[in-house]
Structure 1
Amino acid sequence: MFPKKILITGASGFVGGRLLKSLRQTYPQAEVLGTGRRNERKAEFEALGCHYDSADLTNLADCERLAEGADVVIHCAGLSSPWGTYQEFYDANVKSTLNLLQVAQDQGNQRFILISTPSVYFNYKDRFNIKESDPLPNPMVNHYATTKYQAEQEVLRLNRLDFETIALRPRAIIGAEDAVIFPRVLRAYHEGRLKIMGEGKNIVDLTSVVNVIHAVECCLKAEHSAFGEVYNITNGEPKRLWEVFSLFLEALDLPPVTKKVPTSIALAAASLNEFIHRYFMGGREPALTRYSVGILSTSMTMDIHKAWEKLGYTPLQNTLDGVKEFVTWYQAQAK
């Protein structure tokens, strides 16, 4: 497929921004339009030849303006957090998707790619080699997982020959411009809050943002038979999470974390923390939640054979290089 206009939502964020800049280079003949709620990166993007237009995706008129003439929509925007009300998550993750789907169909867009989440698999238990066809927790762990799954279902049910839809579930995205995983680790480290949860032997999959971009490019080239499906996306090399964190800290010349907290104690502290913040601190998000403890203490690995077989996806960057990419970028920002 040689798109004429690509719309990327969530472009003011990590994945959307990296996609915007990368696809501008891959498809120089196409108009590449990014959108987000914030305007801070507009000058950065436009200096690279990208177009950027801030918008509210819960507003149908904004979606109509953005999608006009687009033959590809890559929907990265959404509310990703362990905390918040169901309505907040529904508006950000489901309503925005429904609006985009409506205008994309009305305007004759050809392909719709949703960046979803493997949080739909999470159940506070160790899980290995998870396939897309494996049973999902019921209920899901939080409003984020629930509403992203709802969005997935809305996207996939509309797949047809003249409107091809697909969803990707990349796990723990890292790399240059990451504003979530490594920045949070570093902040907790400097505040003295970073402690190994459990024994620190939990094994997880991570995904370099380079590989997420590659997976999207695979979707742009894929045959129709690959559409109407959801795909796991990872680096394809499960690692011990706390060893990755140690490598990250070492690359910044920081001593490793050695203090451990039993998972049961961490979960109890998180439960108390959530209760206090919900009922006595105006519902503000706590620094420690049960979900974050679970993510840091349990194993989760995912099978990517389906993406390899049907999309032609093969990881381009390994985890260590993803860590190095972030560190190089982070140190450059500090200069």
Structure 2
Amino acid sequence: MNVLVTGATGFLGWRTLEVLVRDPDIKQILATGRTVRPTHRIHHEKVTYITGDLQDKTFVKSLFKDTNAIVNAAALSSPWGDAHVFNSANVNTQNNLIEASKKHNIKKFVFISSPSVYFEYKDKYNVKEEDPLPKRLVNQYAVTKRKAEVLLMNSGLPYIILRPRAIVGRGDTVIMPRLIRAFDEGRLKIIGDGRNVASLTSVENIANAILLSLRAQKPAINEIYNISNGEPVVLWDAISNVLNQLDKKAPTQKVPFRIAKCFAQFLELKSRLTNKAEPTLTKYGVGTLAMSLTLDISKAQNLLGYQPKVTTGEALDEFVKWHKAHGI
């Protein structure tokens, strides 16, 4: 099997390459992204890097010469931004990849989506893939991820869609680093009562789920799967654990959710009326820190054979070790 991995120069893509190269059935991997960072690069005879823009159809077509399967892990992931920017990054690129996949008779298309499509400003527990989605999705990231899902589902290609929840571990440049920066700038406070629970996902666990998806046969194909560690944790306990390991005194001050949300609304309005830059606090950011959201992963366990191998504690510990070494 020859595999194309998009978003291969990012956190998830890099760690996915580490897992895929160990599989003897995978002979070649074409890894693509915008730029290759030394901290997120794998050196292996199976892996060839090529940089480019997935919005460029000519570039996309060039990636499919000897490809049998694709893992699309590329995305613009942000709680803030204009609709057209997200559509270009998350929907147009998906369409380009689908068109090229059809022309080259791709045998499997694995798409990394997001459980942000489930999010509402309320606690949600054991969410299943078939549960009704909110009538209005929370932000343009969620909207465009869902659009990309639907494009793939209607494409006629054999597909698997994964919705991993809050990916953490070695190489994370998004979730924990963002919280650490907020702490260092004196902006991190507990929102709500601090007892909300969340499903988190070790990056190695989602990488293993991607490998299982590439191997999957009927009846596992043409399905959507929730992916997590299967062990919901108290979110603020997990955050405090990381901060304490970094010799930072975890916050104890609490801010009521409604007050934090109203303040975030004000900052968002101010941004829209001025420079449109991402505010220091968004409603979605407030919600994810205050609301409980856990996923039911039984479908992935039953059909894909997915079993989490790395615990949340182990994933956080490996992030701390990596962060101390690289400071990212």
Q: TM-score range by the shorter chain?
A: over 0.9
| SS of 1:138 mapped into structure 2 | coil
Match of 1:197 in 2: 191
| SS of 2:95 mapped into structure 1 | helix
Match of 1:300 in 2: 293
Contact 2:30 2:48 in 1 (8 A): yes
Contact 1:20 1:33 in 2 (8 A): no
Q: Offset at 1:93?
A: 0.8
Unaligned runs of at least 5 residues, structure 1:
none
Unaligned runs of at least 5 residues, structure 2:
none
Identity among equivalent positions (%) equals 42
Match of 1:286 in 2: 279
Q: Offset at 1:250?
A: 1.7
Bigger mean CA offset, 172-181 vs 24-33: 24-33
Is it true that 1:83 corresponds to 2:77 in the alignment? no
Instruction: Rate the CA distance shift 1:107–1:130 in 2: closer, same or farther, 3 A.
Output: same
| SS of 2:137 mapped into structure 1 | coil
Alignment partners' CA distance in 1, 2:232 and 2:64 = 38
Is it true that 1:143 corresponds to 2:140 in the alignment? yes
Alignment partners' CA distance in 2, 1:333 and 1:53 = 25
**How does 1:152-301 map onto structure 2 within 5 Å?**
152-159=149-156, 163-280=157-274, 282-301=275-294
TM-score by length of 1: 0.94
Contact 1:67 1:73 in 2 (8 A): no
What are the Cα deviations for residues 190-218 of structure 1, in whole angstroms up to 9, with x where unaligned? Answer: 11111000110111100000110111111
TM-score by length of 2: 0.96
Match of 1:327 in 2: 320
Bigger mean CA offset, 282-291 vs 19-28: 19-28
Contact 2:172 2:319 in 1 (8 A): yes
Alignment partners' CA distance in 1, 2:44 and 2:9 = 15
**How does 1:15-54 map onto structure 2 within 5 Å?**
15-27=12-24, 30-41=27-38, 44-46=41-43, 50-54=47-51
Alignment partners' CA distance in 2, 1:103 and 1:334 = 39
Instruction: Rate the CA distance shift 1:134–1:263 in 2: closer, same or farther, 3 A.
Output: same
Contact 2:80 2:278 in 1 (8 A): yes
Alignment partners' CA distance in 2, 1:157 and 1:43 = 33
Runs (4+) off by over 6 Å: none
Q: Offset at 1:46?
A: 4.3
Contact 1:8 1:34 in 2 (8 A): yes
Task: Give the total of aligned pairs.
Answer: 328
